[in-house]
Chains A and B, each alone.
Chain A
Amino acid sequence: MPRFSRLLTQGLWSLGILGIVLFTLFPFWVVLSTSLKTPGEVFRSPATLIPETVVWENYIEIFIQIPLVRHLLNTIIIAGAATIINIAIAAPAAYAMARINFKGKSMFSLGTLVTQMFSPVIILIPVFKVIKELQLLDTYFALILANTAMTIPFSVWMLVGFFRSIPLELEEAAMIDGLSRLGAMLKIALPLTMPGLVTTAIYSFVTAWNEFIFALVLAPNRYMQPVTIALYSWEKNNVVEWQYLMATAAVATVPTVLLFMLVRKRLTAGLMAGAIK
């Protein structure tokens, strides 16, 4: 009897996990299967779950019909530059917060905490007005600036957590041996936090990659739009070419998924440090 009940619990347990997996994967299945259909099959009711005729050419068409390479390049430039600036200025700030006592430290940490909670929508109007006034609409510059700002606060908190997780003694020993504070940071702390830096960089890169609201208003010209906005190219006169839209969506998602997979173990730890403690 106990054996039976254990089997039952285990069965229910696995069933629950199966449910989670199916729920999580279902939208991916829909995106992939729709992206491979013919226009005729897309608009069939009820929908087919597996495409009857598989049209791989859809994935070529999306690169021909819209400037998708350009959109992807825009995203890579914007997210890449934002990430580099972000790490370059967030890492020293995080180190100072983790290791040095200074007046105004709690003001500074409160500032970074509050700003990471901001919705872009709240600051969108003034940012739009200034960017427009300076004639910087449709420039990488404006989008890089905005994306850097949105990702900095989180990066600072994540990095503070990573810096705190390395033992203080190593830097202290190095400083007794004659290294300056700055030297201790550059030669000891930074190399040791490399995995943390990579995780933070990937998190901010993916956040910038997924950014949507700033791009919606700061880049009216389609050649400057990142790939998240390019998805809307497939909506013409209220008709949506779903097979192309889904193919583009799949292309836009692959890089972010791969990057998160790379750092998946440390990502939660980093976010817990950043967002929770």
Chain B
Amino acid sequence: MERRLRILAYLMIAPVTFWLLLFFGFPIFETFRNSLYKTSFLGERFVGLGNYTNLLDDDLFRLVLGNTLSWTVANVTLNIILGLGVALLLSRSTLFSEFARATLILAWATPFVVAGIAWKWIFNSEYGQLNSLLLSLRLIGEPVQWLTNAQSAFTGALIARFWSAFPFTAFAFLSGLQSIPLEFYEAALVDGATPWQRFRLITLPLLRPVMTAVLLISVIWSFNSFAFIYVMTGGGPANKTQIMVTEIFRRGFGYFNFGDASTLAVVAFIFLMIVSLLQWKLFYQEEI
């Protein structure tokens, strides 16, 4: 009986296992292998770890690494802090907050490409609606040049990604908030705790598991977010907003330098592995 049950289980997981090995196992192996070759118009030449040692004095790689770090950190910080803020604002169930929650779904469901395009147009310095809005509210005297220098291009892409990422974060925090027993707050009220004390001593500690989970997933999703940079800045000006995933794509499919691109892909893979193993340790291991 036990044995038959186990066989049934293996049959049930077999298709997924096969699919994952085919689409992730094999390609990852191939990516490792490709990273040991140099691609040129002559074809592929085995160079061992040559591509990796080259990375050490690759200035562009260092720039991309730095960009990726600031992109990920900025995205995650914005997402967590404002996502929590939004969740707190929407936590009381009123008609207005129900309406607001429904609008968040709109942003969440919007394809990344569409969101990127919409924000790119909003930020257009000549014809964009942001400048026109700010001008009509007299907040600025003349049009601001958004997206033209590295700093503003980076910020623009950041805002656009935040727009499409914060609904999930807010919903995650909202369901975390709902799982905190109301008695805790009632008891704190009886003891005369201020709102800030209630937040710091009840909400925050009890929200910690959700917070850690959202943090990790937010790190991964920010690191992986390709469309906003690709659509809005194309990595420019002068690669100053290029991040890891867009750079892999550029080296692979812009220059068809598969060897180089694979080397970067391996670096990205290792980073993602570390974060997901952390996630595994913290949230899943005991459950299985």
Contact = CB atoms under 8 A, between A and B. Distances in A.
Interface of A: 13-14, 16-17, 20-21, 23-28, 30-31, 33-34, 42-49, 89-90, 92-93, 95-97, 100, 102-103, 105-106, 108-115, 117-129, 145-146, 148-149, 152-153, 156, 181-182, 206, 209-210, 212-213, 216-217, 228, 231, 242, 245-246, 249, 252-253, 256-257, 259-261, 264, 267-269, 271-272, 275-277
B226 interface: yes
B103 A25 contact: yes
Interface of B: 5-6, 8-13, 15-17, 19-20, 22-24, 26-28, 30-31, 34, 86, 89-90, 92, 96-97, 99-115, 117-119, 121-122, 124, 126-129, 131-133, 135-136, 143, 163, 167-168, 171-172, 174-175, 209-210, 213-214, 217, 220, 223-224, 226-227, 245, 248-249, 252-253, 258, 261-262, 265, 268-269, 272-273, 275-277, 279-280, 283-285, 287-288
Contacts of B20: 111-112, 115, 149, 152-153
Summarize A's interface: helix, strand, loop or mixed: helix
Contact of B19 (A152, A181, A259): A152
Nearest to A16: B89
Contact of A109 (B136, B253, B275, B288): B288
Given A125-B262, A268-B171, A21 B105 contact: no
A260 B245 contact: no
B132 A48 contact: yes
Summarize B's interface: helix, strand, loop or mixed: helix
10 contacts: A21-B100, A45-B132, A45-B143, A47-B132, A49-B129, A93-B16, A109-B288, A125-B265, A145-B23, A252-B114
Contacts of A30: 118, 121-122, 129
Nearest to A275: B217
A170 to B, nearest CB: 18
A17 B269 contact: no
Contact of A96 (B8, B92, B280): B8
Contact of A122 (B16, B31, B104, B167): B31
A34 B8 CA distance: 56
B15 A89 contact: yes
A96 B13 contact: yes
B258 A102 contact: no
Given A96-B9, A212-B112, A242-B121, 17 more contacts: A24-B103, A27-B115, A27-B119, A47-B128, A89-B16, A92-B12, A97-B13, A100-B8, A113-B284, A121-B248, A121-B249, A146-B23, A210-B111, A212-B111, A231-B114, A268-B174, A271-B168
**Residue with the greatest number of chain B CB neighbours at <10 A, chosen from A33, A115, A125:** A125
